Amino acid sequence: MDRAVVRSYRDLEVYQQAFALAVEVHAMTMKLPKYELYETGSQIRRSAKSIPANIAEGFGRRRYSNEYVHFLTIALASCDETQVHLNLLHATGSLDSATYEQLANKYNALGKQLNRFLQAVIEQHIEPYREYSVARISEEHVEYEMEG
């Protein structure tokens, strides 16, 4: 299986998915009823945008394992928060069932993907820092390379 070298957070599939979903949620909220646009709409936009932002910030601090894990944990929590806002919008009738199902399924898949990535980062950072400058963190078929 070919592995891609990750040089930036933009190369991470989990980041790409989170970013695309944040854009999708932003567009969805612009179609919400006016009374939801500034209340729950604002909350879900912030939580959805927090996911890729925390993945990126964690990547920037990847040399410090506790901070990397911390930011990925926040990203995972923001994913859960986004799912709660989707549930509330649907339950209150502000979000149609088709849009809800589509987004709920995508965020459920993102949460699983983010959790697998977080677990891989934790497993790789348990070992002491290696003598060489390349740490390999698996994200399915991706290798992650730290600059030396």
User: What's the confidence (pLDDT) of residue 75?
Assistant: 98
Between 1 and 53, residue with greater pLDDT = 53
Could you report the per-residue pLDDT of 83-103, keeping only the tens digit for each? 999 999 999 999 999 999 999
Please enumerate in sequence order all residues whose Cβ is within 8 A of that of 33, keeping only pairs 6 or more positions apart, or say none: 94
Write down the pLDDT at residue 131. Answer: 45
pLDDT at 57: 96
pLDDT of residue 2: 55
Task: Give the length of the chain.
Answer: 148
Structure tokens, 92:
């209150």
Beta-ladder partners of 143: 5
Q: Smallest Cα–Cα separation from 4: which of 148, 146, 147, 144?
A: 144
Question: Which DSSP state fits 130?
Answer: P
pLDDT, residue 129, reads 46
Amino acid 142: pLDDT: 46
Tens of pLDDT along 28-81?
A: 999 999 989 889 999 999 999 999 999 999 999 888 888 999 999 999 999 999
Q: What is the pLDDT of residues 111-141, one digit of tens each?
A: 999 999 999 988 887 554 444 444 455 555 4
Q: Are 81 and 106 in contact (CB under 8 A)?
A: no
Q: Has this prediction a pTM greater than 0.85?
A: no
Report the amino acid identity of residue 100.
Y
Q: What is the pLDDT of residue 128?
A: 44
CATH code for 4-144? 1.20.1440.60
